[in-house]
Amino acid sequence: MTTELLRHRDLPPNVRQVLLDVYADVRAPLLHLPNYRVAAFAERLDRHAAEPGFEVVIAYDDHVPVGYAYANTLAPDDRWWKRMTEPLPDGLTEVPTVALKEIGVRTPWRGTGVARRIHDELLSGRTENHVTLLANPLAGDGKVEALYESWGYETFNSQQPSPESPRLIAMIRSVAA
């Protein structure tokens, strides 16, 4: 298997459709839940793509899209920070931070290192000091959280991004880790 990673700093229509298609496949078991519907993801994707520092990486195996990740820069007053359930450490929001908003890999390519390659490619060249993400502690019986911990992330807070969303664990690490 060979994987090609493509980086985009905008969201042309063809890239948007690839993301929607891969998302629908990756999240298929959850699509019946309001927060996981493809239409809900499409709304989030469009909002995130308009935010500062947006970038997306898509992995292809023999021209078949197999996974993606996207992120954007957080401003000190970003709602990302405001939705945290616990008070934040002084100065945290002032440190340049990128938020990994979404990462997904189709089932046949899970466990092959594709997710880590996508993640690392997305962070390569980023100028922020920290990267933060949200993880569902119930996803895969804690396997997702453990995976992120193996990548150097540490839990620092939690949030519920929307009333339809489950409570998520907020994790953070150095971009250079």
Residue 5: per-residue pLDDT:
61
What CATH number corresponds to the domain at position 168? Answer: 3.40.630.30
- 38-76 b/e with 16+ CB inside 10 Å = b? eebbeebbeebbebebbbbbbbebeeebbbbbbbbbbee
Residue 1: per-residue pLDDT:
46
Can you tell me the distance from the alpha carbon of 55 to that of 72, in angstroms, rounded to the nearest whole number? Answer: 6
**pLDDT value at 3 more than 60:** no
Q: What is the mean pLDDT of the chain?
A: 91
Count of domains for the chain: 1
| Mean pLDDT of the 7-19 span | 84
When pLDDT is cut at 50, 70 and 90, the band that residue 6 belongs to is low
- Does pTM surpass 0.85? yes
Closest CA to 78 of 97, 63, 62: 97
Can you tell me the distance from the alpha carbon of 23 to that of 69, in angstroms, rounded to the nearest whole number? Answer: 10
Residue 143: per-residue pLDDT:
86
Enclosing domain of residue 26: 3-174
**pLDDT value at 138 more than 90:** no
Can you tell me the distance from the alpha carbon of 14 to that of 83, in angstroms, rounded to the nearest whole number? Answer: 32
Task: Report residue 8 as tokens.
Answer: 């985009």
* pLDDT tens-digit readout, 55-113: 999 999 988 999 999 999 999 999 999 999 999 999 999 999 999 999 999 999 999 99
At 177, the amino acid letter reads A
